[in-house]
Structure 1
Amino acid sequence: MELNVLLYKLLLLSLFWVSASATNSSLSINFYATSCPTAELMVKNTVKSASESDPKIPGRLLRLLFHDCMVEGCDGSVLLEGNGTERTDPANGSLGGFAVVESAKKLLEFFCPETVSCADILALAARDAVVFAGGPMIQIPTGRRDGKVSSASNVRGNIIDTNFGLDEMVQIFSSKGLSLDDLVILSGAHTIGSAHCNTIRDRFQVDPKGNMTLIDTSLDKMYALKLLKQCPVGGSASITINNDPETSFKFDNQYYKNLVSHQGLFQSDSVLFSDERTKTKVVELSNSQDSFFQNWTSSFVKLTSMGVKTDNEGEIRRLCQSLNG
């Protein structure tokens, strides 16, 4: 009898250690509750101030997060500067929002030195950016550590290009553990933000007389003419256009309404409505902003949890743009 009791206690003890180990090796809600209780508030206030000064900040932070998480996981590797880093690849040349992350990091290093990772700051900043643009508030787990690897050669095979078809996008998303629905839902990030004109020039062509011909016939012709006015042939490469022509700085489900109206800015947007595999989901989200917000909450948590470093992996950088010396 005493032996059975002893074995039972040993079993409980072993289960406790397994449970504790699993908890320590994963992200958790309020990870900084003891080590830096105001961490999330400091990030939130930094994003709020930046967004009030520049309404383009939310879109930039959200895009920055995507480009971080899709390469090496959500580990802040896109923030590193230097020869051959992810930031040097042309696909990342137009990224913005770095200064906001650095501002939050500087503040956190003053109050909680070497405690809050740049990867967590970026994930929280993108989360808060969506809120300040009118989107849903999401509680996300924290505890990410910063990666030590950032290579430009890893970028192209992991980033969605604006001229991709559905199969190409599905291949990349599925390799990250993201579903077809996640692809449609997370593409809704294009409800805010902007793009350079060269990303859409292959959707139509203009003859010497100025007459336009649609190359991508899924594009609404009147919308294409508006795009042509904003992005004239021979115009400056620095000209940008809003992803969503209707509610440019508001995080809402207008993106999906645009797709149904054949007014997706990119080919990678338009294909979501033209392909039967994703069309039903697009229509559902176009009809209900509540449905979009509910779906976004789930998919965003999945996105920000991809390939994270925890425990003894990586480091907590003192500066987001450089590894600890």
Structure 2
Amino acid sequence: MTSTGTAMALALGLIFVSLAGRQSYAGSSAALEVGFYKGKCGIFDVESIVAGLVKAKFFKDPTIAPALIRMQFHDCFVSGCDASLLLNGGSSERFASPNLSVRGYEFIDEVKDAVESFCPGLVSCADIIAIATRDAISLSGGGRYRVETGRRDGFESLAENVDLPGPQIPVSESIAAFARKGLNVTDMVYLLGGHTVGVAHCFFFQDRLYNFQNTGRPDPTMDLELVRSLRSRCPQKSTGNNIVSLDQNFLSSFIVDNSFYQEILRKRGVLQIDQRLALDPRTRDIVTTIASGRASDFGSKFGEAMIKMGAIQVLTGTEGEIRKSCSVIN
């Protein structure tokens, strides 16, 4: 999709699709509701417009799904789900070190332009992220959860506020980081399951392959066959910019399912935090339960965790704004 005109044409085919009516989701922010935009854009359906654009993008590039999952996580974990990650500027969140590899900004801009052409000044960038991510997850085989909307966009974005949990974090610190956002241990394990369709650059785990904790040896918790395989992809003297799938079941690395958990139980976790989930007594039983269940069960629970994450510190009513452009405050 290369222009707003193309986006509009795609959206026109979907504007009469009727989505679910309003319904608050128990356990999340009462200020958000399913179907918030229903009936607010004349004959046009906001979620259907977004869905059409996501579908067209996904069939050209299915990696948009993990890109959007990561974008929503990185936005919500810093100052809440307010699209502050999208704001441009040298000192904004977008340019903090953990966010330099975030993708999808241009696509969200395309969706925003299309939505603005039908419903000017109505739909927040924060809600566009939430809707688009849900649709990408569904297209990747995950459950189609009923996304809540009604967020407004924030006014502040500072790189110095970015304190995202890193890939080498111990489970105890990860639990604490999620708890600060109102998410429990089970939520954390499901949300890290977003790695079912994710990738990682070699520099995030290269130490596990060659010199784990300055031992001169690989991480003993990693399967030796996986060590050999990843070394071929991530040579010791390389820049570390190559990428590998976080779900090492290659038949499933683009599908939102529970295969990721089965792999980490086999010591085939790529990131240290992923492998630790399968080893730590606080999370091991949860991982085992998910791994032994049905893929559809994971999709449903993952969707519930995404809804809960999507309600972190949201701005509603007069607390924020509806940006005309996602990268600039009005």
CA shift at 1:25, angstroms? Answer: 6.9
Tell me whether 1:203 sits opposite 2:218 in the alignment: no
Match of 1:15 in 2: none
Are the counterparts in 1 of residues 256 and 299 from structure 2 also a CA contact under 8 Å? no
Q: Does 1:270 align with 2:271?
A: no
Richer in helix (by share): 1
Structure 1 unaligned regions, length at least 5: 1-23, 207-211
With the length of structure 1 as denominator, give the TM-score of the two structures. 0.88
Residue 305 of structure 1 aligns with which residue? 311
Cα displacement string for residues 9-36 of structure 1 (whole angstroms, at most 9, x for unaligned residues)? xxxxxxxxxxxxxxx9711111111212
Check conservation: 1:214, 1:221, Cα contact below 8 A.
Answer: no
What amino acid is the match of 2:257? D
Q: Provide, for residues 298-324 of structure 1, a one-character-per-residue CA deviation record: whole Å limited to 9, x for no partner.
A: 211101111100000110000001111
For 1:249 and 1:160, how far apart are their aligned partners in 2? 24
| SS at structure 2 position matched to 1:204 | helix
Give the secondary-structure state (helix, strand or coil) at the position aligned to 1:59.
helix
Q: Counterpart in 2 of 1:294?
A: 300
1:214 Cα offset (Å): 4.0
State the partner residue of 2:141: 134
Query: How far did 1:237 drift?
Result: 3.6
* Identity fraction in percent: 36
Q: Quick one: structure 1 residues 214 and 293, their matched pair in 2 at CA, closer, same or farther if it must change by over 3 Å?
A: farther
Cα-to-partner distance string for 1:60-85 (whole Å, 9 max, x where unaligned)? 01100100000011110001110200
Q: What residue number does 1:99 align with? A: 106
Q: How does 1:1-325 map to 2 (within 5 A)?
A: 26-36=31-41, 37-156=44-163, 159-205=164-210, 214-246=217-249, 247-288=252-293, 289-324=295-330
How far apart, CA to CA, are the structure 2 residues paired with 1:184 and 1:25? 24
Q: Deviations for 1:168-205, whole angstroms, at most 9, x for unmatched residues?
A: 10111000000001111111100002111100112121
| Largest Rg, 1 or 2 | 1
How large is the Cα RMSD of the aligned pairs?
1.7
CA deviations 1:69-105 (Å, max 9, x no partner) are: 0001111000111020001111100000111111110
- Mapped to 2, the partners of 1:214 and 1:229 lie a distance apart of 16
Q: Number of matched residues? A: 295
TM-score, normalization: structure 2?
0.86
Instruction: Give me the whole-angstrom Cα distance separating, in 1, the residues matched to 2:311 and 2:287.
Output: 24
Preserved contact between residue 25 and residue 310 of structure 1 (Cα < 8 Å) = no
Shift, 1:216, TM fit: 2.2
Contact 2:143 2:296 in 1 (8 A): no
Rounded Cα–Cα distance in structure 2 between residues aligned with 1:244 and 1:274: 17
- Cα deviations by residue, 1:133-176 (Å, 9 ceiling, x for unpaired): 111101021000000111101112xx120101101101110000
Shift in Å, 1:297: 2.4
Shift of 1:293: 2.1
C-alpha distance in 2 between matches for 1:213 and 1:103: 47
The whole-number CA distance in structure 1 between the counterparts of 2:130 and 2:314 is 11
CA distance in 2, matches of 1:262, 1:150: 38
Aligned equivalent of 2:7: none
